[in-house]
Every structure is written in C-alpha cells, then in structure tokens.
Amino acid sequence: MISLRRSIFFAAPKIKLNAKFIWLILSLTFAIFYGVLGLKIAFSSDYVVQDDARQHIFWMRRFLDPQLFPNDLLADYFQSVAPLGYTTLYQIFAMIGIDPMLLNKFLPILLCTITTGFCFSICLQMFPVPFAGFLATLLLNQYLWLRDDLVSGTAVAFVYPLFTAFIYYLLRHNLFLVCLAIALLGMFYPQGVFICAGILVLQLVYWQFGCITFTSNRRDYLFCAIGLGVAFLALSVYALKSSDYGPVITATEARTLPEFQTTGLSQFFVNIPQHFWFTGQRSGIMPKYGTILPILATLFLFPMLLFSQVFPLVKQLNSKGWLLVQITIASLLMFFVAHALLFTLHLPTRYTEHSLRIVTAIAGGIAIAILLDALFYWVINTKLNSQKCQWYALGTATLLFTLITISPFVEKFPKTDYVIGKFPPLYEFFAQQPKDILIASLTEEVANIPSFSQRSILVGGVGFPIPYHKGYYAQIRQRMNDLIAAQYSPDLQQVQSFIQKYHIDYWLVENSAWDTAYISGSRWIRQYNAAHQAVNLLQQGKIPALAKEINQCLVFQTGDFVVLQATCIMRNKKSF
C-alpha cells in the first residue's frame, strides 16, 4: 500500500521523468480520444456542419472562390466581425486548397491537445504531483467536450490554448512568451486580453501580515508594464477596427426588444436572479452547460488547506497556486465591468466561463488527488491497516476515479452541436444554381443552405439574426418583417414588390407554413412584429397569395419543402 501510494502520488521536489511522462501521455490520450469521438460525428454524413460554424465559417469559402456570396449582408457582416488572427489562419490554409469547412472539423482536436499539454504543465508548476495534472486535464477536457465552444473551431475555440499558454509562461516568468500569448489572444479572442491585463496587475499585490501590500521588486513592475503595453496595443488594434454595422446596442434598447427576453433567440434578461447572475448562457458567471464536478472539488480544496495533518499532500501546493485566485479575481472584475457597460464589452459571461473552467479544472484535479492520497494515508497510518482495509481503500479510490472518468457519458457526450443535413436533394438543387442567387425563406432549414450549398440567403433563423450591432440588425429586422408580411399577404402585388425590392431568385417554403401553429411554434418568427399580423390574416381565413402560386411556380420539391421560382411569380397577375 505504501509503495502504491508513492508511485501514484509521487510528490518529491524533483519529479521523476518517467512518472511525469506516463501521466502526460495518459492526459493526451484522453484528449485525443474525446477529439476522435467528435470527429466521428463530424464525418458521419456528407452534410455535417457545427452549429456556430454555420455563421462564422461559411463565408470563408470566399477564400476558395471569390465569386461566392456576392453582396451578401450575412457573409459581409460575419466577415467584418471576425478577429484578424482567426481569419488569417483559415485564409492561409485556404491558399493551399484546404476547405475552411474541413479545417473547422480538425481544429478542435489539435486545440484540445495543445490545451491539455499546457494545463498539465500549469498544474505541476503549482502542485508537483503528475497524477493531479492528469486529473486536472481530464476534468478540463470533460468541460471542453460538454460545451460547443472548442468544437466550433471558431474564434472562441482558441481562447483555451492561448490563455493556458499565458498562464504557463507567466508562472515561468517568460516575458517574451507571455507577451506573445497576449498578442495572439488579441488577434483571436480580445476579451481574454482584459483578463490577462487584470492578472498582470494583481501580480504586484501581496497579502502579508494581514494586509494588502505591493511588491518592492522593480522587475515585477517592469514585467507588468511591458505586458500591459502589449495588451493595450492588442486591444487598440481591435478597438480601432472600423465597423460598417455599428454602433453596439445599449442595455436600455435591448430591454425593449423581444429578442433579449426569456423567449427570444438571444435571451439575456430573465426574471430569475440566480439564473441571470450565475447560470445564464450570456449573463451568468458560469453557464449551466457542462459538468459540476470540478466546481464541487474546488470547494473541497479550501477546507483541506486548513487540515494538513489529515490531508498531508496539501503541503505540496506551493505559492504559485495563488495565481488561480488572481485569475478568478480578474475574471470576476471584468464580469461586473461588462455588466456595467452592457453591451460595450460584449457579453459578461465571456469574461468568466472560459477562465473559471480552467481554474476549477486545475483546482479540482488537485483537490481530488489530495483526497485520494488522504484515503491511502489514513489506511497506512491507522490500526486498520489490514489487507481487507487496504482493498477497501483501493476499491474506493478506483470507484471514485471511474466515476470521474465516465461521468460525462451520463449526458450526451461529446456535446458537439453538429448539425446533420437531412435534405441532400435540396442542398444539391441550390448548389446547381448560379452563384449569385438569393433565397428567401422562413424555414429553419434555410440556415444550412450557405454551408451545404454555398448560396446566399436573405435571412436565417439560427445564429444569423445577431442583435448586438444596430446597423446590421436593423436590416435583419426589416428583412424579416418584410418577408413575413409578403409570405402571408393575400395580395400578390405585395409579394411581387418584395421580390423586386430584395432581388429574390427562389422562395423556399414548407407545406406546413400555412397554419398559425407554424408561426407561433417558431421562436425565430414570432419575435417580429409582422408575425402577429400574419397570424391574424390566417385566423381570418385569408389565403396567402404565395400559397396560390405553388402549383404554377414550383421548380423543386422534397419532403415537406417546395421551392418556387421568383421570376415565375413576377410574371403572374393578380387573380380576383
């Protein structure tokens, strides 16, 4: 039992290379295994796209073919808000012929592996027990694959390898690489730079003799000043980037829009305080999606620190562990600043959800290692050190480790949010049409057309109506209200005017669209003013003019979907 404890919880000042190597390899193995599970879903069909990639990646096919998405509001907007580094990376691979949509599927496993390596090394800097490093990476990988951030391959996916790199090199006091990590964060995920700046400032503060004091080491001030200078430059580049779709919506304006209310697609303002402040997807400190195990383990760590006789491995936790507290303070500070300046610094949760996942994964891994070691220590140093008790201790430790390993599989794991296209004939039909066509539709399926067919859509119901930039969303709201009004208007002339105004080429409609339940059952449609008028017209028994054109202007049909040709509708005259 003693030899087993030493081999697992080896905590000598100089870690044996083989122990560190074995646990690192196991950490990377789990990271790659989770990534392979994600890849399996990504290539499960010819038409698969990650949910967020439908908005943030589709336009990048312009790098392969500049003729795609001409004068496309949606493509232009998402291209304009994409961070420079993230865009450049995809563009470089496109230059050698790699489809951005293909690269998007492979990036998560690479980013996950890099993050795992840094997380393992960070843990060992604070707590030189390789087994704890393995547990920390295991918990972090479960976090990552129970959320759709990493797997999206979008800008947010890069925060994990870059932020863990910043933490690791800060612990090593490597100024050049710390500055490089900050600069890269600014190019990929600028919100992370604010947290880094806060951490650098907190490096100057110490708690000594019951009061707050500042370091007297001039090198610390120089290190902080240079780091803050790089952070300022990184944020300046981002802040000075002109936007054709500004300004950003204010909190007062957002409160008047249904999109931000409980039933809206961009839900933010909810009436449940604990949800708003703690678990809200856009407003809370830690969104509810993911595993709660690291948080619980982290909470157990604090009382362990006070009882080193009961938990002897606590003594291996060195002063570098205070960095976890500093990260937490900097993240919470930015969280409340973002709430105070809503939505100038974008969403408040962006300043806590990623950094606190890293913090709780590392702290949780350390706490579980300390707890398991205490179990072995108790058996060894009590009169109960019988073979039976040893087996009980080993069995308990094995059971706990097994529960940690398989716990995420209780839910749908990994959570990839990959969208699998169910209507290949529809995608193939549009892909065969000219590259400059524009498709109008109120179906949720239309959101897949840019990714699967590489053709432009007027509006899309999932992800495309982002309401934060007023210049962009004002056009989206206008388009949506005009589209709803035209689709359900009994006046053919209104339909034709709509087609002429937006230069529509095809109209994608579901046969079930002519029922009031179709409108009331859609979170996307019902949040627009024209939806109420459309419901009233249907309840009055008025037949939409577009419905009358289906038999004459139908050019394609599959399942419940019908495609109407706009030129045909324009040629028809109003029937009385």
pLDDT in tens, 500-518: 999 999 999 999 999 999 9
- For residue 215, is pLDDT > 70? yes
CA atoms of 47 and 59, how far apart (whole Å): 17
Among 12-21, 154-163, 283-292, 551-560, the least confident range: 12-21
- For residue 398, is pLDDT > 70? no
Give yes or no: residues 429 and 401 share one domain.
Answer: no
Please list, in sequence order, all residues whose beta carbon lies within 8 angstroms of the beta carbon of residue 37, skipping any fewer than 6 positions away. 145, 413, 414
Task: Between 521 and 291, name the one with better pLDDT.
Answer: 521
**Which tokens sit at 434?**
């000219």
- For residue 116, is pLDDT > 80? yes
Mean pLDDT value of segment 392-420: 71
DSSP E strand stretches across 304-414: none
Task: Give the pLDDT band (50/70/90) at residue 404.
Answer: low
- For residue 391, is pLDDT > 60? no
Average pLDDT over the chain reads 89
Give yes or no: residues 52 and 144 share one domain.
Answer: yes
Rounded alpha-carbon distances, angstroms, from residue 137 to 116, 121, 323, 358, 368: 6, 10, 17, 9, 12
Task: Between 573 and 498, name the one with better pLDDT.
Answer: 498
Within a domain: 354: yes
Say what percent of the chain tops pLDDT 90: 69
Rounded alpha-carbon distances, angstroms, from residue 494 to 273, 478, 501, 543: 45, 15, 10, 14
Give yes or no: residues 176 and 226 share one domain.
Answer: yes
Q: How many domains does the chain have?
A: 2
Q: Pick from 384, 410, 436: which residue ends a domain?
A: 410
Give yes or no: residues 404 and 472 share one domain.
Answer: no
- For residue 445, is pLDDT > 70? yes
Give yes or no: residues 136 and 227 share one domain.
Answer: yes
- For residue 108, is pLDDT > 80? yes
Task: Give the pLDDT band (50/70/90) at residue 574.
Answer: low
Q: Pick from 378, 410, 442: which residue ends a domain?
A: 410
- For residue 477, is pLDDT > 90? yes
Q: What is the pLDDT of residue 397?
A: 64
pLDDT, tens digit (0-9, with 9 covering 90-100), for 527-551: 999 999 999 999 999 999 999 999 9
Mean pLDDT value of segment 369-380: 79
Give yes or no: residues 479 and 404 share one domain.
Answer: no
Q: What is the pLDDT of residue 13?
A: 47
Q: What is the pLDDT of residue 290?
A: 62
Give yes or no: residues 190 and 333 share one domain.
Answer: yes
Give yes or no: residues 467 and 365 share one domain.
Answer: no
- For residue 310, is pLDDT > 50? yes
**What is the sign, positive or negative, of the torsion defined by CA atoms of 470, 476, 479, 481?**
negative
Within a domain: 149: yes
* Phi-psi category of residue 463: left, alpha or beta, with phi > 0 → left and psi -120 to 50 → alpha: left
Long-range contacts of residues 344-352, Cβ cutoff 8 Å, at least 24 apart: 344/248, 345/191, 345/194, 346/191, 346/468, 347/268, 347/282, 347/283, 348/282, 348/283, 349/280, 349/281, 349/282, 349/283, 349/284, 349/285, 349/287, 350/156, 350/191, 351/191, 351/194, 351/195, 352/285, 352/286
Q: What is the pLDDT of residue 209?
A: 66
Q: What is the pLDDT of residue 213?
A: 84
Question: Taking a C-beta distance cutoff of 8 angstroms, is the pair 55, 165 a contact?
Answer: no
Q: What is the pLDDT of residue 554?
A: 96
> What are the beta bridge partners of residue 418?
50
For residue 511, give its domain range: 422-571
Task: Give the pLDDT band (50/70/90) at residue 479.
Answer: very high
Task: Give the pLDDT band (50/70/90) at residue 575.
Answer: very low
- Which CATH number covers residue 565? 3.40.50
Mean pLDDT value of segment 567-573: 88
Within a domain: 417: no
Within a domain: 124: yes
> Helix (H, G, I), strand (E, B), or coil: what is residue 439?
strand
Q: What is the pLDDT of residue 576?
A: 40
Backbone angles phi, psi at 556, to 5 degrees: -160, 145
Task: Give the pLDDT band (50/70/90) at residue 11.
Answer: very low
Give yes or no: residues 220 and 363 share one domain.
Answer: yes
Give yes or no: residues 402 and 435 share one domain.
Answer: no
Task: Give the pLDDT band (50/70/90) at residue 392.
Answer: low
Within a domain: 416: no
Task: Between 381 and 498, name the one with better pLDDT.
Answer: 498
Within a domain: 415: no
Give yes or no: residues 387 and 485 share one domain.
Answer: no
Give yes or no: residues 173 and 213 share one domain.
Answer: yes
Mean pLDDT value of segment 404-412: 63
**Which tokens sit at 198?**
């806060």
pTM summary value: 0.92
